[in-house]
Amino acid sequence: MDRPVWPVSLKTLQLVYFMVPRKTRKIHIGSLVIGGDSPIAVQSMSATQTQDLTATGRQIEILQAAGADVIRIAVDSEKDVEALARLRQQFPDPILSVDLQENYRLAPLVAPLVNKVRYNPGHLYHLDKDKTIREKVEFIANAAREYGCAIRIGVNCGSVDPDYKARFPNDSIEAMVRCAVDHCGLLDELNFSDYCVSLKDSDAQKVIEANRRFAEERPDVPIHLGVTEAGLPPEGIIKTRIAFEQLVSLGIGDTIRVSLTLPNEQKGQEIDVGREILADIEAGRFRSVPENFSDKLNIIACPSCSRVENDKFVELAQEVRRLTQYAEKYKLTIAVMGCRVNGPGETDDADLGLWCGPSRVNLKKGTETVGSYTYDEILGHLKKELDLIISERYGAVEAAGA
């Protein structure tokens, strides 16, 4: 019998595969250049309380040892700024980025200490309600300019500016894209050009769509890619890989962050995984993605950060995955978030959401709160609600037996 003849061999496919060249402009983050034909930078973030100098110092060491091009640290108070100053003294070399969280007023205090400032447009409305968004962006840009810092406009699905959410109630992707494009416009008007943009979602397909739409409108602006709250490995790695494969191969993405739910000592894995995905894409080694890949239980979990108030969070995320294995075949989403700041908003789109406080975990069904439970009680309540949803939507009896 004749052997089937393939039009091209896998080897040939790899040889003919080429990546679309990136068209973005180059920007400087300290001594690092991203954009254009510069190598794609791989970065990560400290997951510790910034004021815990020992723990945060250790995170920096781990990420440095893993070869992170940029290390991000969150700052939300003047005490955090003091801690950042001490860390900078201890670690003068790494390229540091600061995450301004809700307190944009800290920009002039942190800019002398770091190389990049990230602000979230969705958090600018919290303070100084008498000031316009433009005035606040100008305040950040002036601080960044004075100290030679780059800026990242970091748009996140869980904290989109309420104005944009109201304008695009049925298109969360467009709300993110419009917000990012408008903020680029503000920085352009202020003659500030050392900026990049991120549009993150926990859904890899939304990340792909949002970044494609943005890149079409602003092909010049460097992009920081990431799937937020991708969750535990290996699922978190797979989701991230899907998004990066589709985007990087199209020339979209100048720096990446892989967000995984990992114990702090293992955070270097985010860098290793990022580099491995990039090397595979460059070599044309893609993983096939079945069309029904998303038609099953999807657990999203945040990568944790300085806002986590109880270290049991990572363990809880792991337990949620173990507990819910019996429901693997049902197309449902369970979100596990580490804090009370972003947790309530970022669990809204999930069928069941858990967000962690210092001593209790809050359980939600969609946007509604089911209750607040201790860390020991929560799993039992989660299972009860999960069984209920499965029997309501799928009429399945097997769920209760688990």
- In the complex, which residues of this chain contact ligand SF4 (CB under 6 A)? 302-305, 307-308, 337-339, 341-343, 346
* Residue 267 CB, nearest approach to ligand SF4 (Å): 13
User: Which residue number, 305 or 332, has a Cβ lying nearer to ligand SF4?
Assistant: 305
User: Which residue number, 101 or 255, has a Cβ lying nearer to ligand SF4?
Assistant: 101
User: Which residue number, 196 or 305, has a Cβ lying nearer to ligand SF4?
Assistant: 305
* Residue 313 CB, nearest approach to ligand SF4 (Å): 7
What CA–CA distance (Å, rounded) separates 130 from 315?
42
* Residue 341 CB, nearest approach to ligand SF4 (Å): 5
* Residue 342 CB, nearest approach to ligand SF4 (Å): 4
User: Which residue number, 273 or 308, has a Cβ lying nearer to ligand SF4?
Assistant: 308
Phi and psi at residue 45, in whole multiples of 5°? -135, 145
Question: 231, 401, 394: which is closest to 321 by C-alpha?
Answer: 231
Half-sphere exposure of 180 (CA within 13 A, CB side): 35
Radius of gyration of the chain (CA): 21
Sheet arrangement for strand 224-225 = 195-200, 150-156, 116-119, 96-99, 70-74, 41-45, 255-257, 224-225
Instruction: Give Cβ neighbours of residue 225 (< 8 Å, ≥ 6 apart).
Output: 198, 207, 211, 243, 244, 247, 248, 252, 253, 255, 256, 257
User: Which residue number, 194 or 235, has a Cβ lying nearer to ligand SF4?
Assistant: 235
Residue pair 44/65 in contact (Cβ under 8 Å)? The answer is no
Token pair 């596990």: residue: 336
* Residue 54 CB, nearest approach to ligand SF4 (Å): 20
User: Which residue number, 194 or 346, has a Cβ lying nearer to ligand SF4?
Assistant: 346
* Residue 312 CB, nearest approach to ligand SF4 (Å): 13
Phi and psi at residue 293, in whole multiples of 5°? -55, -40
Q: Supply the DSSP string of 107-156, one letter for each residue.
A: HHHHGGG-SEEEE-GGGTTSS-TTS-HHHHHHHHHHHHHHTT-EEEEEEE
* Residue 219 CB, nearest approach to ligand SF4 (Å): 30
* Residue 336 CB, nearest approach to ligand SF4 (Å): 9
* Residue 138 CB, nearest approach to ligand SF4 (Å): 26
Residue pair 178/135 in contact (Cβ under 8 Å)? The answer is no
Question: What does the block give as tokens for 263?
Answer: 């114990």
Phi and psi at residue 316, in whole multiples of 5°? -60, -45
User: Which residue number, 231 or 303, has a Cβ lying nearer to ligand SF4?
Assistant: 303
Cis peptide before 234, with omega less than 30 degrees from 0? Answer: yes
Half-sphere exposure of 67 (CA within 13 A, CB side): 9
* Residue 319 CB, nearest approach to ligand SF4 (Å): 17
User: Which residue number, 202 or 211, has a Cβ lying nearer to ligand SF4?
Assistant: 202
User: Which residue number, 66 or 308, has a Cβ lying nearer to ligand SF4?
Assistant: 308
Cα angle: 271, vertex 274, 276; to 5 degrees? 110
User: Which residue number, 99 or 209, has a Cβ lying nearer to ligand SF4?
Assistant: 99
Residue pair 172/164 in contact (Cβ under 8 Å)? The answer is no
Tell me if residue 251 falls in helix, strand or coil: coil
User: Which residue number, 247 or 317, has a Cβ lying nearer to ligand SF4?
Assistant: 317
Tell me if residue 1 falls in helix, strand or coil: coil
* Residue 373 CB, nearest approach to ligand SF4 (Å): 18
